[in-house]
Amino acid sequence: MHKRNLEGYAGRPPHPRWPDQARIAIQFVLNLEEGSESTKLNGDTQSESYLHELPGRPARVGGRDFSVESMYEYGSRAGVWRLLDIFDSYNVPLTIFATGKALELNPSLAQALVKAGHEIAGHGYRWLDYKDIPKVREKHHIELTVNIIEKLTGAPPKGWYTGRVSSHTQSLVKEISGLLYSSDSYCDDLPFWLYKTPPLLSIPYTLVNNDIQYLLPTGCNTADDFFLLLKSAFDQLWREGSTCPKVMSIGLHGRISGHPARAIGVYRFLRYIQGFKPIWICRREEIAKHWFSRKFVTN
């Protein structure tokens, strides 16, 4: 897939010089996966067993799990709209990691995201673990998703995050025309170059500042826990930002943070950071374009 780099910037990261001398670039990701998860309706042999409210529940082989399906449906029917209202109230732009199938199955939401000016990045066609999926099928899924996003927005995606990757993912994603960045890495707080020719940037993602913490045994139990997690990350990066600003990525899901008891944690964090200037709340595409324009050297 690629060689490992354990050195990175070796304690000497470049100063990114964010717009308006911001001390932190804050980037919210909203994952749109509902409808693309494993189910017999999508031709799968078993039900979904990952990232729902019953962690550890085994997949139902050969049958549907109606409870799990409805948990996913909550995300697209109710949760995502609640989160969008919260972000709209603060005029915050989002990057949407969207599976092609989820966009196809929910055209009204897809159109609303585009109308609101949020970035639509590719997230595979299905919400699947691609590690054992044949390369030709993964390539087809990537092409389907690129075409769907291009039809929706008028341009191919500028960013990509498969999430559960195969050994082929990076080389396949590299071939997407017009792509600026990939986020299938968790290894840094700043972007770095994956390839020089043609240039492709890595903007690392996070599973720490991410609402999957609600579904982990040692993660967050309440919105207060999640707010404190985000606040702690922000406070540390704010302190570092006086000399070396970083990116704070935050990952959300409609079916997780979209519940009322959890959405309030997102609202509290947005309210909290309003008291800090200068910060840059942006889309991932904007981070990539800034990095390209500054022509930062590779690490």
DSSP string, the chain: -----S-TTTT-PPP---GGG-SEEEEEEEEE-TTSSS-GGGT-SB---SSSSSTTPPP-BTS--HHHHHHHHHIIIIIHHHHHHHHHHTT---EEEE-HHHHHH-HHHHHHHHHTT-EEEE--SSSS-GGGS-HHHHHHHHHHHHHHHHHHHSS--SEE--SS--TTHHHHHHTSTT--EE----S-SS-EEEEETTEEEE----SSSBGGGGGSTTS--SHHHHHHHHHHHHHHHHHHTTTS-EEEEEEEETTTTTSHHHHHHHHHHHHHHTT-SS-EE--HHHHHHHHHHHTPPP-
- Rounded to whole angstroms, the Cα distance separating 90 from 56 reads 36
Say if residues 138 and 169 touch (Cβ distance below 8 Å): yes
pTM for this predicted structure: 0.96
pLDDT of residue 3: 79
Q: What is the pLDDT along the chain (299 residues), one digit of tens a residue?
A: 567 899 999 999 999 999 999 999 999 999 999 999 999 999 999 999 999 999 999 999 999 999 999 999 999 999 999 999 999 999 999 999 999 999 999 999 999 999 999 999 999 999 999 999 999 999 999 999 999 999 999 999 999 999 999 999 999 999 999 999 999 999 999 999 999 888 999 999 999 999 999 999 999 999 999 999 999 999 999 999 999 999 999 999 999 999 999 999 999 999 999 999 999 999 999 999 999 998 765 44
What's the pLDDT at 299? 46
Rg (CA), the chain: 19
